[in-house]
Structure 1
């Protein structure tokens, strides 16, 4: 096998702990890959809080794994009700998706930038761009179904 074939099957995955970009072979995605920098698991079955614009940019822009973002706020009842379902969905969707949460109260610039009009709102990012959006609270099965429907892996 030549090196160009190896490179073609590697994905960039941003570590949820130290935020370093890692190259992971597609064949190893389901084998609990660790970060080359901090040695922590790249996928933990939990969502990632992206309450910083720079971290949001890094994860959305550099990861080749689709990122499903829950735009929410702590005062929002439906957001709090959906939170456990979002965590359950993370367990089912990783490592094929990264699930992240953006607190629109902590980072209003992101809510404004993406014109979030109601919360909770799910937004799916692929290749650094938003490809689909779903407003309103969903259960875990609906989150998983919606994500897979809008991006086949």
Structure 2
């Protein structure tokens, strides 16, 4: 399968095909509103505003698997992100990124780019960069700030 073959759920739990993002550069991130890395929402939004007109999308997947750091509903998470960080990029339904209930999209992403310590996601704000052809070209640790990804994004646009 390719990335465009996956269906995901939007914040209202309605199915969305990733095929609608064909031809775009994607940054796919598992996020949390109560994490030490939560301020990265600001950097993600800055990247999105800077590059969206050139075919760049940030896809946000809230995840409550790490330290119960995304305990709210999708609506609560979205409201928090809009009020605190003025987030305008697409946000989706909460998912699991590891284990028996992990989202098939994340099974695929992890199979394409392993982390420093194997394939499992270690924490929130792990980032995957996907090129215009749907190839997963990079994986970044949660500690990697969004602004540090600009050069890689620019190369793909």
Q: What is the TM-score of this pair, normalised by structure 1?
A: 0.52
Query: Which protein has greater RCO, CA pairs closer than 8 Å, 6+ apart?
Result: 2
CA distance in 2, matches of 1:56, 1:132: 22
- The Cα shift of 1:141 comes to 3.0
Alignment map for 1:14-53 (pairs within 5 Å): none
1:133 maps to which residue? 139
Structure ID, larger Rg = 1
Alignment map for 1:2-151 (pairs within 5 Å): 54-55=15-16, 57-59=18-20, 62-78=21-37, 80-96=38-54, 97-105=56-64, 106-108=94-96, 109-110=102-103, 112-113=106-107, 114=110, 115-126=120-131, 127-149=133-155, 151=156
Distance 1:112 1:58, change over 3 A: same
- The Cα shift of 1:90 comes to 0.7
Please report the RMSD computed on the Cα atoms of aligned residues, expressed in angstroms. 2.9
- The Cα shift of 1:77 comes to 1.7
Number of matched pairs: 100
Q: Which runs of 5+ in 1 are unaligned?
A: 1-48
Q: Which runs of 5+ in 2 are unaligned?
A: 1-8, 65-93, 97-101, 111-119
- The Cα shift of 1:137 comes to 3.6
CA distance in 1, matches of 2:24, 2:126: 20
